[in-house]
Structure 1
Amino acid sequence: MGLTKNGGMKSIKIILIDDQNIVIKAIREFLKKEKEIQIVAETNNFTEAMEKIRELGPDLVVSDVSMPDTDGFATARLILEKHTQVKVLLLSSLHQDAYLNRARDLGVSGYILKDDITDQLVEAIHLIHEGKKYFKGIITP
């Protein structure tokens, strides 16, 4: 992780995208205690997400796979094409290898199940910020 000019740790700027406000609220509350992670924007739709990414230049976008105005895979693809410096972590409530494989094929930096957010989200954010990939906790039914 990088350092600021005064020697402190540089914060990891993230944007949350999920159509369920309760999920965004839960993630916000969960990450509140993580001083080095800064949520710079939250949105529940694709159009606003792209505007926020362009305006704020986050390090990481954490996005739901299932969105009403587009799917998270299409969003991830567009983010990776238009904002090459931004990394993408996809969240899903679906325990399907096909989704995991599609995420990997797109080149996203991570994919975790919503059931595992409290166990894996912080670790995933840190590892992705360090340039690693995070694809843990996927169990085929």
Structure 2
Amino acid sequence: MSSAGKHKIRLLVVDDHEVVRAGLRTVLATFGRFEIVGEAASLAGAIQETERLKPDLVLLDVRLPDGSGFEAARELRARQRGIKILFLTSYSDDEVLHRVVEEDADGFLLKDAEAGELAATIDKIMAGESVLDASVTRRVLEHLRSANDITAQDKIALLAPQERRVLAQLAQGKTNKEIALAVGLSDKTVKNYIANAMEKLQMNRRSQVAVFCVRHGLVQAE
């Protein structure tokens, strides 16, 4: 399908290694729907280039010479409403993964992800989904599973059984279509269940719901 006449997704790449930035530029250039509008090698550079270029999405390393990617993400979101952040890093230790979830990241991928997975992740994020690298999802869930907040029990009690089933699938990182197949419902019904559940939980992002479900036992260990 031709991308002529369509708005390309404008990307800013932030990484302190030039070879990584060059590699991402080369890989993403093979997909006609993306346009890398700029690069930065530091937190300060990320802020400057974001304000200048107004990208749709920033591919952001979690560790930068003058600060963390998490600091950068907060700054970028404060300065540009609606900007999307995809953390793309070689680090997969538990501390980093926990921070990614706590910061309510739009997405997280390891740098060794395949080109197709990277492109698909960007597409999902731009469609409003939160995406966590499948290879580290289990570790994040296990890391969060031990936490428990008694004050959340009243919210859980408001959830209908079918809503709990749907949210348990959502917390595993599945898309609405994948959830629909897993629980035998239509995409539209799944979307409605998620919307109703998010209202009951007083949350507005899928990643927040996923963390909540794990912390309060709505996702069972396999």
Length-normalised TM-score, structure 2: 0.57
* Maintained 8 Å contact 1:116/1:137: no
After TM superposition, the structure 1 = structure 2 runs for residues 1-141 of structure 1, keeping only pairs within 5 Å, are 8-139=5-136, 140=139
Aligned partners of 1:95 and 1:138 also within 8 Å? no
Rounded to whole Å, the distance in 2 between the matches of 1:127 and 1:13 is 15
Bigger RCO of structures 1 and 2 (CA < 8 A, at least 6 apart): 1
Inter-partner Cα distance in structure 1 for 2:55 and 2:134: 25
Letter in 1 for 2:20: V
Root mean square deviation of aligned Cα: 1.8
Q: Which sections of structure 2, spanning at least 5 residues, go unmatched? A: 140-222
Amino acid at match of 2:42: N
Identical pairs, percent: 29
State the 1:83 CA deviation. 1.6
**Per-residue CA shift, 1:36-72, capped at 9, x if unaligned?**
1000001111212111111111110001111111111
Whole-Å Cα distance in 1 between the matches of residues 53 and 126 of structure 2? Answer: 17
1-structure distance, mates of 2:17, 2:43: 13
* Structure 1, 116-125 or 106-115: larger mean CA deviation: 116-125
Contact 1:127 1:133 in 2 (8 A): yes
Question: Secondary structure of the equivalent of 1:38?
Answer: strand
Conserved 8 A contact 1:16-1:61: yes
Bigger share in helix: 2
Using the size of structure 1 for normalisation, the TM-score is 0.87
Gaps of 5+ in 1: none
> In 2, Cα distance between the equivalents of 1:95 and 1:54?
29
Letter in structure 1 aligned against 2:85: V
> In 2 relative to 1, CA 81–138 (structure 1 residues): closer, same or farther, beyond 3 Å?
farther
Contact 2:28 2:115 in 1 (8 A): no
Higher strand proportion, which one?
1
Superimposed CA distance per residue, residues 68-95 of structure 1 (whole angstroms, 9 cap, x where no aligned partner): 1111111112112222211100012112
Aligned AA (1:18): D
Q: Retained in 1: the 8 A contact 2:109–2:133? A: yes
